C-alpha cells in the first residue's frame, strides 16, 4: 500500500463524505479499478455509514480480498460481490481511474450511466507538478502512463459527462506535498527517483488493511506529519486526481409541456436521458 496510497485512500474517503453527507442506500464500484493498491475498496467508508455496496471486478482473487476486508470491518452484510456489473439500478456508481484502462472510455461511461442517476468519476490530474517531473524522468525510459490518456483532459472528458447529465460538482483530490510519480506497487518514491532502494513502509495485506478499523498509530502519526493542499488555491498544482459528480437532470415545471401544447412541442421539451 505505502504512505502515498494510504493518503490517497483517506483523500478519496473525505471527498466522498463531503459529497454524500447522507449516504446513498445502494452503490456500485467497478468493473475497472485503476488503483495502484488493492482494488474495490473506495466505497468501504460509505458501507461503514450504512450503504449497501456492490463491488464488480473480473478478478476472483481481488473479490476475495475485498470480501476479507469487509469481514474484518464487520460489514459482510453490506457487501455484494460480482464478476460483472449486474443489470440493476444503484443510487451511486463510483469509477476510479478506469477510463484510461477501458477499451473505449466513452462506451464505458455510456454503459455505467443507465445504472444510476448519480455518477462519480475520478481520473488522474494530468498537469500537476508530479506529472512534469515524471515526464522529465522518463526521457531515459519512454512509456505511456495514465496521465497521457485523453480521458484525463477536461476538454475531452467534460463534454462526454455533460452529454450524460449535469456536472453538479468538481474537485481536486489527493493533494499531498509529494509528487505523484506513478510508482509501481512495491516501489518507493526514492527508488523511482533513483536515489534509494529502501523497502517501502506502510504496506498492508487484507488481514492488516488499516481502514477496516482504527488506524494503526504509526500510520496516523505519519499522515499527520505531511501537509496537504486539498482546500487550497494550490490544489491544481499538487492534485493527483480530479473528481466529477454527475447527476441526472430533474425536469422542472418549466420543462413540462402543457396538455394543450402540440405534440411536436411536447416532444421537443423532453430532455435527453
Percent share of the chain, pLDDT over 70: 83
Question: Cβ(88)–Cβ(115) under 8 Å?
Answer: yes
Mean pLDDT score, 111-131: 94
Tell me the pLDDT band of 111, cut-offs 50, 70 and 90.
very high
Q: pTM value?
A: 0.84
Mean pLDDT score, 81-100: 97
Tell me the pLDDT band of 183, cut-offs 50, 70 and 90.
low
Cα–Cα distance measured from residue 251 to residue 248, given in angstroms and rounded to the nearest whole number: 10
Does residue 174 register a pLDDT over 90?
yes
Question: Cβ(28)–Cβ(58) under 8 Å?
Answer: no
Question: Cβ(33)–Cβ(65) under 8 Å?
Answer: no
pLDDT confidence of residue 148: 83
Does residue 207 register a pLDDT over 70?
yes
Amino acid at each position: 500500500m505505502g504512505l502515498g496510497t494510504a493518503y490517497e485512500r483517506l483523500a478519496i474517503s473525505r471527498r466522498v463524505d463531503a459529497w454524500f453527507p447522507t449516504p446513498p442506500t445502494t452503490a456500485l464500484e467497478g468493473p475497472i479499478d485503476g488503483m495502484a493498491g488493492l482494488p474495490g475498496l473506495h466505497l468501504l467508508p460509505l458501507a461503514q455509514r450504512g450503504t449497501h455496496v456492490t463491488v464488480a471486478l473480473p478478478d476472483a482473487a481481488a473479490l476475495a480480498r475485498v470480501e476479507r476486508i469487509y469481514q474484518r470491518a464487520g460489514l459482510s452484510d453490506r457487501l455484494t460481490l460480482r464478476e460483472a456489473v449486474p443489470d440493476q439500478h444503484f443510487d451511486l456508481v463510483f469509477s476510479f481511474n478506469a477510463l484510461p484502462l477501458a477499451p473505449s472510455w466513452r462506451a464505458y461511461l455510456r454503459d455505467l450511466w443507465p445504472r444510476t442517476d448519480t455518477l462519480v468519476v475520478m481520473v488522474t490530474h494530468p498537469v500537476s507538478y508530479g506529472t512534469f517531473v515524471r515526464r522529465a524522468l522518463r526521457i531515459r525510459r519512454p512509456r505511456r502512463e495514465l496521465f497521457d490518456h485523453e480521458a484525463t483532459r477536461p476538454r475531452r472528458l467534460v463534454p462526454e459527462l455533460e452529454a450524460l447529465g449535469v456536472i453538479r460538482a468538481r474537485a481536486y483530490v489527493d493533494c499531498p506535498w509529494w509528487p505523484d510519480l506513478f510508482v509501481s506497487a512495491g516501489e518507493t518514491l526514492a527508488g523511482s527517483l533513483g536515489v534509494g532502494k529502501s523497502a517501502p513502509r506502510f504496506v498492508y495485506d487484507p488481514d492488516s488493511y488499516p481502514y477496516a478499523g482504527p488506524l494503526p498509530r504509526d500510520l496516523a502519526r505519519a499522515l499527520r506529519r505531511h501537509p496537504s493542499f486539498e482546500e487550497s488555491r494550490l490544489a491544481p498544482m499538487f492534485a493527483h486526481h480530479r473528481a466529477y459528480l454527475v447527476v441526472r437532470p430533474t425536469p422542472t415545471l418549466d420543462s413540462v409541456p402543457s396538455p394543450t401544447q402540440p405534440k411536436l412541442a411536447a416532444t421537443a421539451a423532453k430532455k435527453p436521458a
